[in-house]
């Protein structure tokens, strides 16, 4: 079961994509983070950005680096999320990402990826 719902994908170009998603309230990420006041952990946010890069590249990829990551706002169950991903100029494997909740920045950073030989990434 996928732990978030992909509502819509807008492909702006061959190098840029916007994913519209919603984190499901029964997501396992919320079960222990934190009881009574659930928030989506940063690692789950980065995984959503990686999924967007996979959508853009149409390849099985894994993270080889993460930098300049900033977590600025909590993401809670049923939040409507917009994830903007763009290839960084001059590097075929580096992508900037921005995760927004209600047009407010929740997280941003730069992901470097590489092809994965495994099915699971």
Q: Are 5 and 24 in contact (CB under 8 A)?
A: yes
Predicted pLDDT of residue 117 = 83
Q: Phi first, then psi: give them for residue 50, nearest 5 degrees.
A: -60, -40
Confidence of residue 113 (pLDDT cuts 50, 70, 90): very high
And the tokens for 102? 């209600």
Which superfamily does CATH assign the domain made up of 4-115 to? Hotdog Thioesterase (3.10.129.10)
Average pLDDT over residues 2-27: 92
- Where are the chain's structural domains? 4-115
Predicted pLDDT of residue 120 = 52
Q: Are 52 and 70 in contact (CB under 8 A)?
A: no
46-102 pLDDT per residue, tens: 999 999 999 999 999 999 999 999 999 999 999 999 999 999 999 989 999 999 999
Predicted pLDDT of residue 35 = 76
pTM: 0.89
110-115-118-121 Cα dihedral, nearest 10 degrees: 20
């Amino acid at each position: 079961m996928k732990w978030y719902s992909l509502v819509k994908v807008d492909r702006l170009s061959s190098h840029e994509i916007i994913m519209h998603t919603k984190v499901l309230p029964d997501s396992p990420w919320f079960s222990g983070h934190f009881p009574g006041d659930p928030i989506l952990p940063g690692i789950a946010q980065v995984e959503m950005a990686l999924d967007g890069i996979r959508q853009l590249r149409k390849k099985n990829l894994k993270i080889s680096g993460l930098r300049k990551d900033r977590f600025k706002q909590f993401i809670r169950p049923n939040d409507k999320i917009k994830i903007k991903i763009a290839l960084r100029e001059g590097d075929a494997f580096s992508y900037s990402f921005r995760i927004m909740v209600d047009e407010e920045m929740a997280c941003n950073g730069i992901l470097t990826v590489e092809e994965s030989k495994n099915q699971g990434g």
